[in-house]
Amino acid sequence: MARPGPFTLAAALAVVLVLAGGGTAHAAAARASDATPATTQLPRGIRPLHYEVALVPHAATLTFEGRATVTIDVAAPTRSITLNAVGLAFSSVRLLPASAASSGVAAAAIDVDAQAQTATFSFARPVGAGRHRLAMSYAGAIGTQANGLFAIDYDTQRGRQRALFTQFENASARRVVPSWDEPAYKATFALEATVPAAQMAISNMPVASTRPGAAGLVSVRFAASPRMSTYLLFFAVGDFERATAHEGPTEVGIVARRGAIAQGRFALEASRRILREYNEYFALPYPLPKLDNVASPGSSPFFAAMENWGAIYSFERILLIDPTISNQADRQRVFSIAAHEIAHQWFGNLVTMHWWDDLWLNEGFATWMASRAVARLHPEWRTWAASVRRRDEAMAQDAFAATHAIVQHVETVDQVSQAFDSITYSKGAAVIAMLEHYVGDPAWRAGVRAYLKAHAYGNTVTDDLWREIERAAAKPVVDIAHDFTRQPGIPLLRVERGGCAGGATTLHLRQGEFAADRPGKEPLRWRVPVIARAAGHPPARTIVAGGSADLVVPGCGLVIVNAGQTGYFRTAYSADQQAALRDGFARLDAIDQIGLVDDAWALGLAGAAPIVDALELIERAPVDAAPELWGRIAERLTKLDAFYRGGDPARQSRWRAYAIARLAPVLARMGWDSRGGEPAPLTLLRAELIGALGELGDAATIAEAQRRHALRESDPTAYPVALRKSILQVIARHADAAAWEALRAEARAASTPLQKEQLYRRLASARDEALARRALELALSDEPGATLSASMVSAVAEEHPDLAFEFAVARRERMDALLAPATRHRYYPRLGSGSHDAAMIDKIRRFAEANLPASSRRGAESAMAQVAYGATIANERLGAVDAWLASRRP
């Protein structure tokens, strides 16, 4: 799954941008090659081998009927069979012989346990060991949120249309197919669906046959899938078009609503190239005959795309390129998310984690692999800075007590859902990047190839990967990997220079821990691979183990620890080194400039170093520094501005004046209009600077955006496609009531779901509090569409967290209907997490205690930690910023 990523910053790869009871497993479980006992919510002893599923959706009434016949293997005689099912009404359950024709025996009792999400079928006589078929007829409901089988309504020139899709990760196959809905229960699936003959049906595999049914219906039978986990099953039907291309024997396809297929051309070509790259990297050709990516109108605050095997599902916003609004950031996002989902076709689909404890094997790897593919296939995008940003995003969660280890024990459906976070995705990817640099690309690739080959169509735990990497690398990897995946947190390396002798610098490295909310914490111990380099000299490497190490670095002068920024740790330099790095800042590699600013900023906010260190580095960035550095600085300056919110307006004005004075010359240098052949990073930076200067209230930027917006009908050169999103961002942020109503009229009249969605999200970004209240009311009306409401409330929360949190909590029942069930426990606390009013901590705590089971409160704990940290920054750090601002005035 790909996470949605921030919407407000036009960030380049802002992507990277989702049961109580149950016992412990017995050894009979699938093919976990480790003896580790695996978690389960189902009793072991029965294994599904093959599912025959027939669905008859009734889109108009939001109901469906289903028949599922599952070939099962029973290990020992039993009187009952328990599987997963939620919201399904069974009309018939029979046990049949494995092959012989027979009407079989009906279940004597059907017990549905809504809490455990199971159905138990009891039989009068014991079910013997060996193979049987379990035949079930049932009915269920089609939802309106992206979960289970759901409907998305959208407007077209031919009137309102409804398309159906499925979303099963992590535990919603059970809402459509009664099943052993755990990743280790791999089986083959043969799906048939009865659908309107005029519509197109899509599943994991190509259509095998069709037969006409009654009243304009047709029964479509798809070829049987390979052996796979239930969460990867997919089905969609609607008024679709499909475009295809070939990569070797594979048919690559994009599926989109009628009229939009041309907007999928970019993704089609991207997918083809990515598939070729991965076939080569994994040395194991993509095994299915086709690979579709299905574009869906609508939205989810929790995911952007889903890797169903052979039939990826993506929201339009991250799959289609609309020639009237899409910009460079959109193109990069489409490419990157396609690369993420296609990486899952191997990492996740072909080889699957045994249980959700190892979810990071899927998500960390796909995130890392996608960044590698983007860098190789689009070197001109210069996306290397995205990995530093991603590491920082992981550390922003990992520095707090509410973090967790990459490999973590999960049991309940809610706990699985809350595992889809920055640690699983971004820290997972960062740790892989570090280990890949440590063993080298050829050894890493050889290990990955061996791992996939050994476990194809099976399930694994994390150590299965480490074993293959270590074997390929012929050097110790497992212990380092364990340190970073089995314990939470961030190593902090304190650097002291021992001086320069014989043309080499000796560094003393001491390992502590960077714990932002626990200053006196006793540090954990890691074995930390370190690369250090003096400018103009070859790098030196070591492993800091046991808490300290000395490292001799060739060369004297400026020395960077974590050179190239591939290590997952923070670095704190001694005062004299920090001063030297500040003075030599302009001469450093851009990636190290960004890493230095990130470290100084994080240490400063945590009170572990003077915040002035970070400001002094930014002060040294030349106006012609790398666009990637300026993008990062723009983000830092606007984020700090948010901590002034609600305080003394004069203090905020002084900060804004400073930040604008830093950023405006960079924008002025490149201008609003792009020159032909401009490098992509510059195009991205322009959008980021316009957004940041708008955010900081820069009058000139706001006026220019308004001027250009007013000319949108009469002078297309003033309102080029590349600038439209940026202009709209500024217009909406600073809208008055009249401008807001004008945007709303534009949203109502928008001709495509993508344009509509873009405008409604913008309506939710207004800074004016009265307009924010109107946006909240609008979000809960029928106007924006059922899947956009929750995202709009989240968008309001970015500027008005207290308002949005209280609004949503007060309308809990209405709000719950607009959220997929397994996401509710995370959604509400997250709304308040941007507050830095300490009173919000109690509000979130009261909400959690009253509404969330104790095992589902990580989202709440994390949100409370963020609020507490925000309050600390607002109350204790801004003073030093103010003093620094005053000191530098002439």
| Cβ 312 to Zn ion shortest distance, Å | 10
Q: CA 832, CA 420: separation in Å to the nearest integer?
A: 19
Please say which residue, 363 or 598, places its beta carbon nearer to Zn ion. Answer: 363
Cα dihedral across residues 724, 730, 735, 740: positive or negative? positive
Q: Which two tokens stand for residue 438?
A: 């440590």
**Residue nearest Zn ion (C-beta atom):** 1
Query: Residue 299 CB, nearest distance to Zn ion (Å)?
Result: 17
With CB under 5 A, what is the number of residues at the site for Zn ion?
3
Nearer to Zn ion, 233 or 602 (CB): 233
Nearest-approach distance from CB 345 to Zn ion, in angstroms:
11
Of 366 and 860, which CB lies nearer to Zn ion in the complex structure? 366
52 is catalytic: no
SS3 554: strand
Site for Zn ion in 58-117 (CB under 5 A): none
**Binding residues for Zn ion restricted to 353-372, rule: CB under 5 A:** 363, 366
Q: At a CB cut-off of 8 Å and minimum separation 6, what does 26 contact?
A: 44, 45
Cβ closest to Zn ion, residue 343 vs residue 596? 343
CA-to-CA separations, 804 to 246, 268, 795, 797, 832, in angstroms, rounded: 47, 38, 9, 5, 7
Give the nearest distance from C-beta 420 to Zn ion in angstroms: 8
Residue 822 CB, nearest distance to Zn ion (Å)?
16
What's the closest the beta carbon of residue 167 comes to Zn ion, in angstroms? Answer: 13
Q: Please state whether beta strands 217-222 and 207-212 pair in parallel, antiparallel, or not at all (unpaired).
A: antiparallel
Query: Which of residues 1 and 860 has its CB atom nearest to Zn ion in the complex?
Result: 1
Letter string b/e over residues 415-449, b meaning 16 or more CB atoms within 10 A of that residue's CB: bbbbbbbbbbbbbbbbbbbbbbbbbeeebbbbbbb
- Residue (363 or 698) nearer to Zn ion, CB: 363
| Cβ proximity to Zn ion, 327 vs 362, nearer residue | 362
Q: Which is nearer to Zn ion, 419 or 629 (CB)?
A: 419
- Work out how close the CB of 347 gets to Zn ion at its nearest, in angstroms, rounded to a whole number: 9
- Are 352 and 186 in contact by the 8 Å Cβ rule? The answer is yes
Q: How many CA atoms lie within 13 A of 367 on its CB side?
A: 35
Nearer to Zn ion, 336 or 787 (CB): 336
For the bound state, the minimum distance from the C-beta of residue 2 to Zn ion, rounded and expressed in Å, comes to: 5
Give the separation between CA 252 and CA 291, rounded to whole angstroms.
5
Nearest C-alpha neighbor of 836 from the set 816, 863, 856: 863
Separation of alpha carbons 360 and 368, rounded Å: 11
Q: What is the DSSP string of 570-609?
A: EEEE-HHHHHHHHHTGGGS-HHHHHHHHHHHHHHHHHTSS
Separation CA 235–CA 142 (nearest Å): 13
Three-state secondary structure call for residue 420: coil
Shorter beta-carbon distance to Zn ion: residue 308 or 328: 308
- Report the site for Zn ion in 1-20 (rule: CB under 5 A): 1
Q: Which of 169, 182, 341, 704 is catalytic?
A: 341
**Is residue 339 part of the contact set for Zn ion (CB under 5 A)?**
no
Nearest to residue 38, comparing CAs of 230, 169, 171, 182? Answer: 182
Q: Is residue 601 within 8 Å of residue 643, measured between CB atoms?
A: no
Which residues 6+ apart lie within 8 Å of 579 measured at CB? none
Beta carbon of residue 487, minimum distance to Zn ion (angstroms, whole number)? 24
In which residue are the tokens 């070197």 written?
379
Radius of gyration of the chain (CA): 28
Which tokens sit at 113?
């346990």
> Whole-angstrom Cα distance, residue 363 to residue 690?
32
The residue among 644, 655, 685 whose CA lies nearest residue 667 is 685
- CA 735 – CA 46 distance, rounded (Å): 60
Q: Between residues 792 and 820, which has the closer beta carbon with respect to Zn ion?
A: 820
Q: Evaluate the CA torsion angle 404, 407, 409, 412 in order and state its sign.
A: positive
What token pair was written down for 574?
Answer: 């001694």
Residue 806 burial (C-beta neighbours within 10 Å; 0-12, 13-18, 19+): middle
Query: Is the Cβ of residue 329 or residue 369 nearer to Zn ion in the bound state?
Result: 369
Number of H helices, E strands in the chain: 28, 29
Shortest Cβ 303–Zn ion spacing (Å):
8
Query: Smallest distance, Å, CB 173 to Zn ion?
Result: 17
* Minimum CB–partner distance for residue 364 and Zn ion (Å): 9
Residue 94: strand, helix, or coil? strand
Helix (H, G, I), strand (E, B) or coil at 210: strand
User: Residue numbers of the site for Zn ion (CB under 5 A)?
Assistant: 1, 363, 366
Residues with a known catalytic role? 341
